[in-house]
Structure 1
Amino acid sequence: MFLKGFLTNSSGILTSRILGFFRDLLTATTLGAGIYSDIFFVAFKLPNLFRRVFGEGAFNQAFLPGLFNARLRGGFALKIGLIFCTILIVLSCFAGIFSASITKLLAFGFSDDLIELTAPLVAINFWYLLLIFIVTLFGAMLQFKRNFTAWAYSPALLNLAMIVALLLARNSEAYEAVIILSYGVLAGGIMQILLHCFPMYRLGFFKLLFAGFKELKTKPHNTNYIDKRKSIDQSVKRFFKQFFPAMLGSSTAQFASFIDTLLASFLASGTISYLYYANRIFQLPLAVFAIATSTALFPLVAKFLKESKEEEALKALSKSFWFLAILLSICTVGGMFLKNEIIWLLFERGKFVREDTLMCANVFVAYLLGLLPFGLARIFSLWLYSKNQQVLAAKISAFSLLVGTFFSLILMQFFGAVGLALAGSISGVFVFLLTLHYFSWKYFLSILWNPKFILLTCLLLCVESLVLFAFKAYIFSLN
């Protein structure tokens, strides 16, 4: 079951990322790296932030334990769903009415003309928050039964819908193309919900939610109904007590990207797009290797620590550490050698010109410096989560966000977009070091001191460097 879940999640992530690259390729071709791509990325930033915060574990970390422990699971799941859906519907209506003010907050450096162009797009994209919450709720319920397929592959449907929208918009005016793309986001959200409906029906979760309506009813002077309502309310309170620190801990990377977009709006046109495209490539190895590895490792470490088998947990952690360290090191070295060639191959066409390629490549390298610490921090943070130290993990993440913001404000003055990406990598180093501090330096050094893997890593990196050097010298090099 563990291997099946790992392969399902990793293959789903990989499929989504591949389609995401095709989506970005078409976005670069259709919109280039300028005003119209910037306004779409600003409009899509908040829904994308919400999707990542919920999708990368914040909701599941609180919901799944709550569902396991709830005496009335249908009423618990339904009440959580109703609370969030009500809030998001109100917020989406609010965003439609005050879209200009919200846009000003998202891109404070935009001129009034750009705010006017972006505001309708913000109002459209905001409704995706409601759709992705429903997807997240259904996905978490399916994971209760260890059914991962719909959840793993649903992000691919969003990318597919956006690809279709971009193909339909290729011959349209730039602003009209951005509007079509925004409606493509909503279509993708609906497709994601529909994908979850069949397994939800097959596993009986719709019946469970329907039963929840009866469980939530209260009848005056009926002790049984009042007790049921109290039990559900207690489960919901426990959920929110766990949810907020989990959300903070899972969302700092996304909030950092959100802040970078805000700061980038003060820089030259195209800066937001360079950050977006470079970060998309950076996220591929982080997602396919780091997130997939941590997802597979978490239940194993948690089980060993619960059974007081600390040595077994450390062994599992050590194997995963070296597996991930080798893969991410290879990706880092390869990305640095082929920075220009990667951006050229993926994005340089249409309105995305050579100057954009070279600028985006430098931003990409700055992000790559943080690949290893960000990825490895995910592994060691599992130790904290397994010991119910979510609040501590959230504090580490919050401190790293402050550090990243501080360095962003300084480095953007000298290096522009590259400085913003570099600040993010510095933040990753702080997350890694602080996580190790609370994990135990003694344990970490015992894991790190493995001559066999140290030699293997050095050998692989030397061979990779020689091969890529020869490739660039004798086959192809983009300068």
Structure 2
Amino acid sequence: MTVDTHKGLVRAAVVTVAITLSGSLLGFVRDLLIARYFGADGGTDAFLVSWTVPETAFPLVVEGAMAFLLVPLFSRALADGREPRDVVAATLPRIVVVLSLASIAVVAFAPWIVRLIAPGLADPALAVTCTRLTALTILTFGVAGYVSAALRAKHVFGAPATIHLASNVGILALIWSLHGRFGIVSAAAGVAVGGALMVLAQLPSFLRHVGLPRRISVRGSSLVTLGAFAPLAVYTLSRQAQVFVERFLGSHLEPGTISHLNYAQKIAQLPMLVALLVCTVTFPTLAKNVAAQQISAARKRVEEDLRTVTALIFVAAAYLIVFAPAVIGLLLEHGAFTAADTDATAAIMRVYAFGLFGHAMVGVLCRPFFTGERPLWFPAMAMGAGLAVNAVLAAVAVPHFGGPAIAAANGIGITLTAVLLLIGMRRTVIAVSLGSLGAASARLGVAAAVAAGAGVLCGRVTHGAVAAFSGGVVMLVVFVAAAHLLGEKVRRGN
């Protein structure tokens, strides 16, 4: 990697992280408002069941399957000297038709979908109403994901990073203005509006850097085939099915359990979102390395991403485990969200934090499988194995341990998937150095444990918000110092 390329990736990563974090902060405000206005009860459970639709659509057609399919597709077109607008002409019309039909189907079959996802829900009628509103996101998210993929292939990252910001602006606007009149339904309507804003926020940049096609192609063979999309879709849906397990089993527990699980997961996975933004920026470069048969460069790219993500996740997970009650109390314990809700959510989040490393590794390791012209089926099979373990363990343990058992089963299942992906990647795609990565992970793990000890000591002399902020600073400083002493330094790209 040249110095100029490295600097370009760093600048892109900084811009992407800054804008995405702004959107994520609005996401926190969104969750705070939902907790304040509606608490954690049967109504919020109903909304979260409807949230399953955009929650599934987003990884499938925005950050997951759509990106894994289209970023390499546009990258290959650019490498071959073709114009991106020609790819748009050959692919976008068909994709819009499919997405529209999917949205209509969810609206029509919403009662059956709700019954399938959460058969024990206290207010299924409310969930059906919310689901019909959120069904619109299948179309809007899909178009937004398509535009994002085309821009990233052109190494334009600012506009795609705004999608979180745009979505949360729409949700917040409707919750703020309509919660008194429509209750939790205002949040579902906001999700629908936010999806449209995701497209509009990127449209000017898309027109400038990619452009509209000179003609719309409705005949002939499409560059996006079912055979190419199928392994990506199965992998993404299998990963998202972990949420289906959570909602299904949680609907049979006390009202509010699904909400506790959701709040815990959203907060716990924020560090993973930040960490994986690094891979979002480097994915087009990885795709080009693989397409050009530059295997050594691709291996270095993957190994560097793994080290960076591991460091971020270890220190973040340690912090969440130590300060879970303080973090939840600071963020959510307002209005209708009670101290009992804080205790239940914090207990679940501590368990989720142990599984963060597995989730992050899957996010990094799946990408090399999807850089070729024909995405491989192995990630879908690995994800299926992890999902099966997740579902079985959760079903057995939930009657005895409740919500935390769902979080524990989730972590075990996704960690199994990460191990399988690492093995499969070495055999079929890129032979990364297990010894080097294992040693680096061990050093970072020790540093995280030392930082956790420092955090515990800090928590004994401070409380509440002071503990959450000062403890985080102390743990970060200790983690960096311990990692440096152990020989694990920040590495720059070559």
Q: TM over 0.5, yes or no?
A: yes
**Structure 1 residues 449 and 78, CA gap change in structure 2 (3 angstroms):** closer
Question: Could you tell me the percent identity over the aligned residues?
Answer: 22
Alignment of 1:43-192 (within 5 A): 43-67=50-74, 74=85, 76-78=87-89, 80-111=91-122, 114-170=123-179, 172=180, 176-192=182-198
Deviation at 1:267, TM superposition (A): 1.4
- From 6, 25, 28, the counterpart of 2:35: 28
- Deviation by residue 1:251-297 (Cα, 9 ceiling, x = unmatched): 433221123112211111011101110110121011101x1232244
Query: Which structure 1 residue ranges, 5 or more long, are not aligned?
Result: 217-228
- From 3, 10, 28, the counterpart of 2:10: 3
| Aligned twin of 1:411 | 397
| Aligned twin of 1:220 | none
- Deviation by residue 1:371-428 (Cα, 9 ceiling, x = unmatched): 1122123333344345666211221112211221121211212111111111110012
Counterpart of 1:187 in structure 2: which amino acid?
A: V
Tell me if structure 1 keeps the 8 A contact 2:42–2:121: no
Paired with 1:94 and 1:308, the residues of 2 have a C-alpha distance of 42
SS at 1:268 equivalent: coil
Alignment of 1:207-356 (within 5 A): 208=213, 211-213=214-216, 215-216=217-218, 229-230=219-220, 233-237=221-225, 240-289=226-275, 291-304=276-289, 310-356=295-341
Counterpart of 2:463 in structure 1: which amino acid?
A: F
**Structure 1 residues 438 and 144, CA gap change in structure 2 (3 angstroms):** closer
Counterpart of 1:105 in structure 2: which amino acid?
A: L
Deviation at 1:318, TM superposition (A): 3.7
- Structure 1-normalised TM-score? 0.86
Tell me if structure 2 keeps the 8 A contact 1:51–1:132: yes
Paired with 1:38 and 1:455, the residues of 2 have a C-alpha distance of 41
Deviation at 1:33, TM superposition (A): 0.2
Tell me if structure 2 keeps the 8 A contact 1:49–1:258: no
**Structure 1 residues 430 and 268, CA gap change in structure 2 (3 angstroms):** same
SS at 1:212 equivalent: coil
SS at 1:390 equivalent: coil
Which one is further off, 29-38 or 176-185? Answer: 176-185
Say whether 1:374 aligns with 2:359.
yes
| Aligned twin of 1:476 | 463
- Deviation by residue 1:207-253 (Cα, 9 ceiling, x = unmatched): x1xx232x44xxxxxxxxxxxx43xx15243xx32111112223433
Paired with 1:122 and 1:262, the residues of 2 have a C-alpha distance of 16
Question: Over alpha carbons, which structure has the higher Rg?
Answer: 1
Which one is further off, 390-399 or 425-434? Answer: 390-399
Tell me if structure 2 keeps the 8 A contact 1:154–1:192: yes
| Aligned twin of 1:42 | 49
Paired with 2:292 and 2:71, the residues of 1 have a C-alpha distance of 20
Deviation at 1:302, TM superposition (A): 4.6
| Aligned twin of 1:221 | none
- Structure 2-normalised TM-score? 0.83
Deviation at 1:51, TM superposition (A): 1.5
Tell me if structure 1 keeps the 8 A contact 2:9–2:282: no
Tell me if structure 2 keeps the 8 A contact 1:373–1:432: yes
Counterpart of 1:101 in structure 2: which amino acid?
A: W
Paired with 2:178 and 2:456, the residues of 1 have a C-alpha distance of 41
Counterpart of 2:446 in structure 1: which amino acid?
A: C
Paired with 1:454 and 1:256, the residues of 2 have a C-alpha distance of 28
SS at 2:269 equivalent: helix
Which one is further off, 360-369 or 388-397? Answer: 388-397
Which one is further off, 33-42 or 387-396? Answer: 387-396
Query: Which structure 2 residue ranges, 5 or more long, are not aligned?
Result: 1-7, 468-494
- Bigger helix fraction: 1
Which one is further off, 63-72 or 407-416? Answer: 63-72
- From 433, 447, 470, the counterpart of 2:419: 433
Q: How many residues align?
A: 451
**Structure 1 residues 288 and 335, CA gap change in structure 2 (3 angstroms):** same
**Structure 1 residues 78 and 271, CA gap change in structure 2 (3 angstroms):** farther
**Structure 1 residues 297 and 151, CA gap change in structure 2 (3 angstroms):** closer
Deviation at 1:168, TM superposition (A): 1.6
